[in-house]
Structure 1
């Protein structure tokens, strides 16, 4: 399903490996959040979300400091999208970034980055968030048709020279998506029946990719209504839904996912791909089939797992 990783000359590794160098050692919550950021920006960059996640990591780590949380990456990428200019290399973006989580006031943080952040960029609400899920834009802030992003040749040349590449980097171009068929998905219809609002393209795609158990999904929607939480917080709803699915058979899931998390032959990118497929499957039979497929492609024994 995802991540869709397209190798480009001015990144030296997959962003999840870059994170290990410029940020902290990858934690489960970090991978979850970075995964969500890449998925969101896939919609705006013709499937090159992971590429721009990597560029944002390098940008915010330009000061040589450790990035404390992936939310800083999200803020920068959202700003690129809002300004129709991914990867701008102007002076304002080369300023040393402050790190979240160090007690720095939000106003000082925004001033240092010189970014026009949307009010909800650092907003939280009363609904609980697990696994580090991030908040998405509300329906009024994003359009169904992705925007067009122009090439910044100077910035491309700068990165190519920095990494010893001989040619300029080609900027990914967005591709339009038709949401009409996806909106007819039963999970989307259940949301529209529960809330008197609309869904943007990102939310439609996330719901159709994630929800496979309508009974559990309707349970989450009903609980959301009962608590009066924000109806636009679709990512948090999906996070709650995933938690409900995982709780259905925790012992079996724990035993199964060990084969992914502790497999000796998987790199971090492959581990993320298999983990996402495993968690996206709602039936135990589907999850067993995924583990069987993994062991067929990458045979190993239980005694060889990195426990």
Structure 2
């Protein structure tokens, strides 16, 4: 018996990459799957295509599973409500949402257009709101529901050229945390995963030097979407009932638990601080505890396991 036996799962962005691997694995683990994917480009903004979502659903059915396709956009709240209704109408229930749908529009912040900012925020952060808000009352009423949202080390640590993506993905972390806190007494769980995996989104990252070429090569050869799917499906399982409000990463065969912002140093002045005393005393005293401006590669410089 699979870890999702008898459950109904909605997977967004499921035509390729991590989403597809999550949908296929969820089905193999016993779930009935609503396969959602707009079928658009990595940059988003195009009309989309119903074919890719149907192709994943057909692959599940061909393997003996149960799946239905949906090609609506996660940026459209009414359409997302329709996904929830589709799950209920087709399979009689909805128990979990795995939400890796996303786009990239990279660029240095001083050159970033409003449209590039808005589109990325819309898909990632608004999309996470939409799938959560459209289903949370159902989950609370049935006292059973799980969200597996996706963040990124671009938000948790930072990567040059991804201000829009980083802002959206760190926002998803905050949303997931509150979903976990508010849902605890109602059996609603939420966690996030920061994936390291070669996908068509990652393939768009420009390679400008030898160091970045080596990082991309490591990701392409040793960090796969199916490895990320293992954790996503495990978190969606009712057997992970005690896991909520957490931030994970998957890097090859590594599963990483991230810390969350907590105080690291405290300076007090009973007479109150002034700009001068802060500059002379507090900030210098805290300096050794500052975090540097290194990107993700500086935190994970070693080869994946």
* TM-score, shorter chain, exceeding 0.5: no
* TM-score relative to the length of structure 1: 0.26
* TM-score relative to the length of structure 2: 0.26
